Amino acid sequence: MRLKGKVALVTGSSQGIGQAIAIRLAKEGANVVINYRSHPEGAEETLAKVKEAGGTCHPIDGITIKADTGTVPEVQRMIAESIDYFGQLDILVNNAGIERHADFWEATEADYDAVLNVNLKGVFFATQAFVKYLMATKRGGKVINISSVHEELPFPHFTSYCASKGGLRMMTRNLGVELAPYGITINNVAPGAIETPINTKLLNDPEKLGSLLQNIPMGRLGKSEDVAGMVAFLASSDADYVTGSTFVVDGGLLWNYHEQ
């Protein structure tokens, strides 16, 4: 119960990695704000599991908030509503993310904007709204961004996605420095190939899946819970002296290289 008495907001927590993070933080004792854009039923499922997570001894509260995290006024409203409901906010997990596949020369402006808005601009302004609140109330806080191994590693045909994650990497390094004097830490978690809805196409293509698995030294895809464990650590006081860094959760994928 490392997060007893804390409130955490997890964006994009109606499914996948975000859902697992919300549940894990609740198991650690935090009350949780569940954000979703287009899956209210998924958000309700997360909420039910969050409430269950505390058991009877440590009842956990949660709410769901609909907001498009690619839109600045929406992320500002999401942060304000979270604080209004719980009277405090201690942990922001910027998890919502999207990707669009295209050859570089075919990529559209609409897809570029969608990816950059959710993966970078929304994170920037959600974090800004959270930081303004922390500074105004003289509280410390923790920001955790769900990035990707692709903040480092090329991913051909996903250039907008890589650009967004590379941007997130520098945003985190920069804010690690700028926010440290205020007791606010910020870190990235960089998952590799995790079994989630963002990968549905790949998971249903045995040939592509097979060659991906050959690139993963641990020989399996990651689970959302593998990522959630790292987030729980970074959200806790065990990580008070940790900021501006990226933590890779990828079964060894990123630095895997073999010569036959």
Chain residues binding ligand BGC by CB under 6 A are 99, 148-150, 155, 192-193, 198-199, 202
- Which two structure tokens, joined as six digits, stand for 224? 């959302």
- Which two structure tokens, joined as six digits, stand for 116? 């950059």
Instruction: For ligand BGC, give the closer residue by CB, 76 or 199.
Output: 199
- In angstroms, the CA 59 to CA 16 distance is 24
Residue pair 95/168 in contact by the 8 Å Cβ criterion: no
Instruction: For ligand BGC, give the closer residue by CB, 90 or 99.
Output: 99
Instruction: For ligand BGC, give the closer residue by CB, 168 or 239.
Output: 168
As measured in angstroms, the least distance from the Cβ of 203 to ligand BGC is: 9
Work out the burial of residue 67: count CB atoms within 10 Å of its CB; fewer than 13 is exposed, 13-18 middle, 19 or more buried.
Answer: buried
- In angstroms, the CA 201 to CA 216 distance is 18
Instruction: For ligand BGC, give the closer residue by CB, 153 or 242.
Output: 153
- In angstroms, the CA 9 to CA 76 distance is 13
As measured in angstroms, the least distance from the Cβ of 225 to ligand BGC is: 17
Q: Which residue's Cβ lies closest to ligand BGC?
A: 148
As measured in angstroms, the least distance from the Cβ of 202 to ligand BGC is: 6
Known catalytic residues are 161
Distance between alpha carbon 41 and the CA centroid of its chain, in Å?
20
Torsion of CA 132, 137, 139, 142, to 10 degrees: -30
